[in-house]
């Protein structure tokens, strides 16, 4: 039986937070006369850091409680920590030692190593944060915070690998101008088996979490937690489908990108999803 509080409400909460948090992060790192300039990046990183620390504290406090409210607190806390990392990456504060385009003619392992050097600091920071959250919540009563962060890390890593290999469609509208060199590391426009397998795997994870949510006792924390994870997986499927379909980021987040109109005029199929996963 489908429950409003146990199934539908968690899905709505996840979608609403995903939509507005992605737009807010995009706005905080946008550059243009009608938006924030690079001079405000330090402030954005500081605010993101404060939000991330608050999120970590929320996860730690909520991990001791087994209640629906604590599950939501942990969920929001994980998203705050994730947002901190996203702001750090998109502002360039934590990306990688390489800040230049891919060398012409680079192939195979050479191209992979160059691409890895552009994001390695961000990836290491995410991995260490995931390990820290897993360690802190290993024997905790409420582990949803760590689970959400690890799931988002896996979804984002899948997106990055697919962009490197090549996808049929991507857009640069959510990618800040100072990170435009990343476009040179994206594979050529094509449909690959990796993207198909990625979508199938995330769909399978969605079905598994969904089955746990359906089987859980009505109104339980297990139902709420599994429903939140199901919603995140479904959003992951959607974002992977964006890589295969002719979709522009500005269609959803144009309100957060005052320069979207100008950018769309120079639209290119070599781009990336710069939002959270959620992200």
Give ∠ CA 102-104-106 in degrees, rounded to 5.
Answer: 75
* Among 112, 47, 35, CA closest to 86: 47
pTM of the model: 0.88
pLDDT score, position 253: 76
Ramachandran quadrant class, 92 (left: phi over 0; alpha: psi -120 to 50; beta: rest)? left
Locate 16 and state its tokens: 């609403």
How far does the chain reach from its first CA to its final CA, in angstroms? 28
Q: Mean pLDDT of residues grouped by 10 in the chain (279 residues)?
A: 87 94 81 55 88 96 94 97 94 91 93 96 96 94 96 96 92 79 92 96 97 93 96 96 82 66 36 37
Query: Could you tell me the residue ranges of all domains in the chain?
Result: 4-264
Sign of torsion over alpha carbons 137, 198, 276, 229: negative
């Amino acid at each position: 039986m489908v429950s409003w509080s146990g199934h539908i409400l968690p899905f709505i909460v996840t979608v609403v937070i995903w939509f507005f948090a992605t737009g807010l992060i995009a706005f905080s790192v946008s550059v243009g006369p009608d938006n924030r300039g690079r001079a405000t990046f330090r402030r954005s990183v500081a605010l993101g850091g404060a939000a991330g620390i608050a999120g970590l504290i929320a996860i730690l406090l909520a991990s001791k409680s087994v209640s629906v409210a604590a599950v939501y607190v942990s969920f929001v806390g994980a998203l705050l920590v994730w947002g901190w990392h996203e702001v750090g990456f998109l502002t360039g504060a934590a990306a990688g030692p390489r800040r230049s385009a891919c060398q012409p003619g680079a192939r195979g392992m050479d191209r992979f190593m160059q691409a890895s050097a552009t994001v390695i600091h961000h990836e290491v920071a995410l991995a260490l944060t995931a390990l820290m959250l897993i360690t802190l919540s290993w024997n905790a009563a409420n582990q949803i915070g760590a689970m959400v962060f690890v799931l988002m890390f896996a979804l984002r890593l899948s997106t990055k690998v697919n962009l490197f290999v090549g996808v049929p469609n991507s857009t640069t509208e959510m990618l800040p101008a100072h990170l435009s060199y990343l476009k040179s590391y994206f594979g050529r426009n094509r449909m690959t088996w990796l993207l198909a397998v990625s979508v199938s795997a995330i769909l399978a994870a969605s079905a598994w979490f969904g089955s746990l949510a359906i089987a859980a006792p009505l109104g339980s924390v297990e139902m709420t937690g599994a429903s939140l994870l199901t919603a995140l997986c479904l959003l992951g499927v959607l974002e992977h489908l964006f890589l295969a379909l002719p979709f522009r980021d500005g269609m959803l987040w144009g309100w957060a990108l005052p320069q979207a109109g100008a950018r769309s005029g120079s639209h290119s199929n070599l781009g990336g999803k710069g939002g959270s996963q959620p992200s």
